């Protein structure tokens, strides 16, 4: 999918017009986040130390993207994500959300995804990793899904088939294992012949 292509050093991004909301209860981690986005050329940012202050900032309006710590005392970044997707004003409900978290067990990554976060990335924050996500977000073409069970960007990124070792749940899913060949390999000449369509008389 084009939106997930790896960014190149020569690709350009113009972030100075984007208003970032940075959320982290740890002041040093918040400073790290701010330094990184400043380095990217960001000029508009609101830094807050928790989910409650983040909600106020969102209600004031004008936020284009949220970068939030996952684990915070009291209301955490996952709950903030859920609030944004389900209860924030319409104008803010579809804002991209990136959860940045120190301890990232798979269960938390899945939780973030299922609550509607666009991406989860692990601390310590690495500029290139964050910028790659911003690059993907700027090329995002996923639809938004609204349902009782889920509100957020379509979780299906790519159609790669079922996980290895499983049979898949869709009728068209093929097994991951190819198995033993049932016929002899094609010779190189036969392969070449497949690449060179011959003129045939029909």
Partner 1 sequence: MSGVTFIRVPNKLAQLTRGKGGIAVGEAVKRANAALEDLKDASVSIIDEQLAEIDRLFGPGNPDRAGLSLEVLYDQASKIIDAGGGLPGSGLEECARAVCDLVSRSRAHNTCDWDAIDVHIATLKVLRAQGQSLTAAQRRTVLQGLSDVTAKRAGEG
**Looking at 21, 22, 32, 66, which residue binds partner 1 (CB under 8 A)?**
32
Q: Which is nearer to partner 1, 141 or 177 (CB)?
A: 141
**Looking at 22, 65, 99, 115, which residue binds partner 1 (CB under 8 A)?**
65
**Looking at 40, 49, 53, 111, which residue binds partner 1 (CB under 8 A)?**
40
Does 1 help bind partner 1 (rule: CB under 8 A)? no
Handedness of CA 101, 104, 109, 110 (dihedral sign): negative
Structure tokens at 172: 């068209």
Cα–Cα distance between 157 and 72 in angstroms, integer?
28
**Looking at 48, 54, 109, 131, which residue binds partner 1 (CB under 8 A)?**
131
Does 71 help bind partner 1 (rule: CB under 8 A)? yes
Does 117 help bind partner 1 (rule: CB under 8 A)? no
**Of 46-54, 122-130, 157-165, 182-190: span binding partner 1 (CB under 8 A):** 122-130
Q: Which is nearer to partner 1, 95 or 176 (CB)?
A: 95
Residues with Cβ within 8 Å of residue 133, at least 6 apart in sequence: 98, 118, 119, 121
For residues 67 and 20, the answer to whether their CB atoms sit within 8 Å is yes
Does 78 help bind partner 1 (rule: CB under 8 A)? no
Q: Looking only at residues 143 through 182 of this chain, which bind partner 1 when binding is defined by CB under 8 A?
A: 143-148, 154
Count of Cβ atoms closer than 10 Å to residue 172 Cβ: 7
Does 125 help bind partner 1 (rule: CB under 8 A)? yes
Structure tokens at 186: 């094609």
For residues 3 and 139, the answer to whether their CB atoms sit within 8 Å is yes
**Of 45-53, 121-129, 175-183, 184-192: span binding partner 1 (CB under 8 A):** 121-129
Indicate the burial class of 66 (C-beta count within 10 angstroms; 0-12, 13-18, 19 or more).
Answer: buried
Q: Which is nearer to partner 1, 145 or 176 (CB)?
A: 145
Structure tokens at 69: 């710590």
Pairing of β 97-101 and β 65-69: parallel
SS3 call for 144: strand
For residues 42 and 21, the answer to whether their CB atoms sit within 8 Å is no
Size of the site for partner 1 (CB under 8 A): 54
Which residues form the interface with partner 1 (CB under 8 A)? Answer: 7-18, 26, 28-29, 31-32, 35-41, 64-65, 71, 94, 96, 102-105, 123-128, 131, 134-135, 137-141, 143-148, 154
């Amino acid at each position: 999918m084009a939106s997930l292509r790896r960014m190149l050093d020569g690709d350009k991004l113009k972030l100075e017009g984007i208003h970032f909301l940075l959320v982290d209860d740890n002041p040093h981690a918040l400073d790290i986040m701010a330094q990184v986005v400043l380095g990217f050329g960001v000029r508009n940012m609101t830094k807050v130390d928790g989910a409650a202050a983040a909600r106020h900032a969102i209600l004031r309006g004008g936020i284009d993207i949220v970068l939030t710590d996952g684990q915070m005392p009291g209301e955490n970044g996952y709950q903030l994500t859920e609030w944004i997707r389900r209860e924030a004003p319409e104008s803010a409900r579809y804002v991209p959300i990136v959860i940045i978290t120190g301890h990232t067990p798979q269960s938390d990554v899945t939780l973030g995804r299922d609550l509607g976060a666009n991406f989860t990335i692990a601390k310590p924050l690495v500029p290139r990793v964050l910028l790659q996500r911003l690059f993907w977000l700027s090329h995002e073409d996923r639809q938004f899904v609204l349902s009782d069970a889920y509100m957020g960007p379509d979780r299906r990124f790519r159609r790669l088939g079922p996980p290895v070792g499983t049979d898949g749940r869709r009728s068209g899913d093929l097994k991951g294992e190819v198995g033993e060949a049932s016929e002899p390999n094609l010779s190189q000449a036969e392969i070449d012949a497949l690449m060179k369509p011959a003129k045939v008389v029909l």
